[in-house]
Amino acid sequence: MNDVDRSIAPAEVGHLARAVLDAVGTVVVGKRDALELVLAGILAGGHVLLEDLPGLGKTLTARSFAQALGLDFRRLQFTPDLLPADVTGSFLYDQRNGDFTFRAGPVFTNLLLADEINRTPPKTQSALLEAMQEKQVSVEGVTYKLDEPFHVLATANPIEYEGTYPLPEAQLDRFLLRVSFGYPQHEEEWEVLRRRMSRRREEADIKPVVDAATLRAMQAALEDVVVEDSIGRYIVSLTAATREHPSVLVGASPRGSLALLLLARVRAVFGGRDYVVPEDVKSVAAPALAHRITLRPEMWLRRVDPAFVVSEVLEATPAPASGALPSYAAGGPRH
């Protein structure tokens, strides 16, 4: 059966998603909310930026999701001397054939871990732009399509951290959402140590829960999740409000609205529904919008955070009634 012939219902997507999260949770301890956001980004067909201090499980999370989702996985360590060709690949001279042949770079995979992406200069960072947006790579005038599914999980240290380069706004906008893990609680950190002693080795392996074809079917099933007009207009109002906030220099682009729409659909499925309610939108607003906001320079001096701006926008923007559900949700016919 071809990928396009596979068909599953939104309810099954929720069941499979919970199984994937349970599998990843056997390795990544106590970060269920953050893990749900990462999986939501993947199911929504996007890329995820994991921004936090070193040693908090970002790389482990990416590897664990690749194993649980049954995806081909490659890790690329970004360093100050990394070149764009180290990401995309390049043409090399083949002495046997007397001609140049293309040697594919690590971007040719299903799940790419771009580790510490902000430790490399912007020129190399931008090598990912075309791959992330167009799912293709152009080298020496030749375009190569990437196999689907294709997702980038990029880890980044905080901008204030030594030896980092700020990500260009255009590249930040390509990430569907940004997630932070934070330090674990005392009992969670002890559980990490206990599991390490129990398995008696450093590596932790996860058996695949789904495969690439099933993941694509799960992504396609989300198109059946209903978004009422009132919810769609609420999404647009939230994004537009970020552009009008007095602390903001540049607000979220229309990609922010699209991110809210896609992620809210996933949240609905996680909640066992095939329709979106305002709470779904609110739960993903900060991860989807905060990294798309550029604050006025004086706001940095006041230590205003973009996530705080999103929280103010949520409070100030009226939400439609949660009871405004699709007609079939109340037993009526589905159109």
94-126: pLDDT as tens digits: 777 778 888 888 999 999 999 988 888 888 887
Confidence band for 6, pLDDT divided at 50, 70 and 90: low
Residue 308: is its pLDDT beyond 80? yes
Domains annotated on the chain, with CATH: 10-202 (3.40.50.300), 225-316 (1.10.8.80)
- Do residues 169 and 295 make contact, with C-beta atoms less than 8 angstroms apart? no
**172-220 pLDDT, tens digit each:** 888 999 999 888 888 888 888 888 888 877 777 889 999 999 999 999 9
| CA distance linking residue 323 with residue 203, whole number of Å | 47
* pLDDT at residue number 289: 96
What lies within 8 Å, CB to CB, of 12 at 6+ separation is 221
Kindly state the tokens that stand for 270. Answer: 């996680």
Cβ-contact 155, 59 below 8 angstroms: yes
- The answer to whether the CB of 46 falls within 8 A of the CB of 257 is no
**SS3 track for 306-334:** HHHHHHHHHHHCCCCCCCCCCHHHHCCCC
Rounded Cα gap, residues 136 and 150, in angstroms? 10
Give 333's strand partners.
Answer: none
204 C-beta neighbours (distance < 10 Å), count: 15
pTM: 0.88
If you average pLDDT over residues 75-89, what whole number do you get? Answer: 90
pLDDT (average), residues 78-98: 86
| Confidence class for position 233, pLDDT limits 50, 70, 90 | very high
Q: What residues contact 83, with CB distance under 8 A and at least 6 apart? A: 124
In whole angstroms, give the CA distance from residue 110 to residue 47.
12
Percent of all residues in the chain with a pLDDT value above 90, rounded to a whole number: 52
Count the alpha carbons within 13 Å of 219 in the hemisphere toward its beta carbon.
21
* Amino acid letter, 112: L
**d(C-alpha 259, C-alpha 238), whole Å:** 12
Query: If you average pLDDT over every residue of the chain, what do you get?
Result: 87
